Amino acid sequence: MALADADLIRQPASVLANAIATGEVSAVEVTQAHLDRIAAVDGSVHAFLEVTGEQALAHAADVDARRASGATLGPLAGVPLACKDVLTTKGVPTTCGSRILQGWRPAYDATVVERLRAADIVMLGKTNMDEFAMGSSTEHSAYGPTHNPWDLTRIPGGSGGGSAAALAAFEAPLAIGSDTGGSIRQPAAVTGTVGMKPTYGAVSRYGLVALASSLDQAGPCTRNVLDSALLYAAIAGHDPRDSTSINAPVPDVVAAAQRADVRGLRIGLVRELGGEGYQAGVRTRFDEAVAILTDLGAQIVEVQCPSFDFALGAYYLILPSEASSNLARFDGMRYGLRVGDDGSRTVEQVMGATREVGFGAEVKRRIMLGTYALSSGYYDAYYGQAQKVRTLISRDFAAAFAQADVLISPTAPTTAFKLGDKVDDPLAMYLNDIATIPVNLAGNAAMSLPIGLAPEDGLPVGLQIMAPPMADDRCYLVGAALEAALLDRWGHPLLDEAPQL
């Protein structure tokens, strides 16, 4: 059957790209199929905050025209993508899931968005997220929660639940997320998708609205490892507009994904990331994946990272401290929401009223925590001590990578929980990121890969692959090898098992 007659929305991005390049199907047809899917199911999923259908179809038509004229286009040209609403997009609303930016249309594109456009990847719209990326369930969005396509009563992870849900619902074959403490990887784990957190500085942060500047990192979200590698290659690379951007060659992640061979590779099991607090079904699928890696010829070793036990506490001092500084710019004076400006109030009163109405409860909680941690008399005791823990975590990673080429763990301690179960319990919510946070504190690369369904609830489980800085290709090497072995076992992609919306 010709691809044009098949179900376009379920094809991998690489397959769609090849079909567009060879003329089997047009970019317009592919884009329209996904817009139709969004119209059909997003009322239930709520993955998108803004759908840019007209712009998407116009870009797709331009791709088709240039292809017909003989122009050489990129490897993902014409393939649609959903973008997390934390990246500035010129002329398109960018809200970060917050009322305080409601209606703001940036005058410029983020570097990631520029590179997507340059690669002729077609943007379908902006996806829902926890407000300013503060959350693990996408329930803290000012515009309502996103629902997990596997079970609409459950969370899709956070903060980038919209991007992950769009993939799992077949609303887009590619997506972009951002990861400050697991916001790409944890949603990937609970939706059965692939999420990659690049090395800090490998992908530009210019135009990525800052939560915690020393932790934030944009990255690719996809349904398989090769698609992730192709999208990574499109957005990564040095950017002089980002002072933290690494001026070094981008690892060849596409070649690594295509090689997919772990024979002789040393894979470290992190003792501190597992055991108590981890759902039995998560452990079952993880142990099976370890056995598969052994069968593929990898050498499994156990490593210890004792400072990881303190990562959660350190993270929730460093992140709020940086957030309290970064979010000071949202004051109702320059852009976005403005409340109480009736001519009778002072500037300070308008700022206070705007921030009171514009910020949600979780954002206010973290701003207060961060401001306190940075205050006179407490800085050394809290923020300073947290930074010392961060150094110890980096040293633990360095010692572990001396024994192993990559490290692995479960991505999240449980499968997707019910909407509302933890929204009023901040500590329980924060514990969802216990396995992902150490990577952000150290600046390493990490990927979440789906490894099956938990026996007790039939929901997706993710495995996390961690690599040293600028060794992102190792994540793709291991991820692609394990993915291929799991496909042999299942005989079909995991998402074929997802309930139909």
By annotation, the residues acting in catalysis are 84, 159, 183
Do 220 and 191 touch, CB atoms closer than 8 A? no
Count Cα atoms within 13 angstroms, Cβ side, for 33: 22
Q: Give the C-alpha separation, 439 to 258, whole Å.
A: 25
Q: Give the C-alpha separation, 28 to 37, whole Å.
A: 14
- The alpha carbon dihedral of 188, 192, 193, 199 has a sign of positive
Q: Give the C-alpha separation, 281 to 285, whole Å.
A: 6
What's the token pair of residue 490?
A: 């299942």
Q: Give the C-alpha separation, 483 to 225, whole Å.
A: 8
Q: Give the C-alpha separation, 192 to 167, whole Å.
A: 9
Do 456 and 414 touch, CB atoms closer than 8 A? no
Do 415 and 432 touch, CB atoms closer than 8 A? no
Give residue 390's identity as a one-letter amino acid code. Answer: R
Per-residue H/E/C for 112-135? HHHHHHHCCCEEEEEECCCHHHCC
Closest to 432 (Cα-Cα) out of 456, 415, 457: 415
What's the token pair of residue 495?
A: 């998402």
Do 177 and 117 touch, CB atoms closer than 8 A? no
Do 166 and 209 touch, CB atoms closer than 8 A? no
For the chain, count helices (H), then strands (E).
16, 11
Integer angstrom CA distances of residue 318 from 203, 253, 369, 426: 21, 31, 10, 16
Q: Give the C-alpha separation, 386 to 411, whole Å.
A: 23
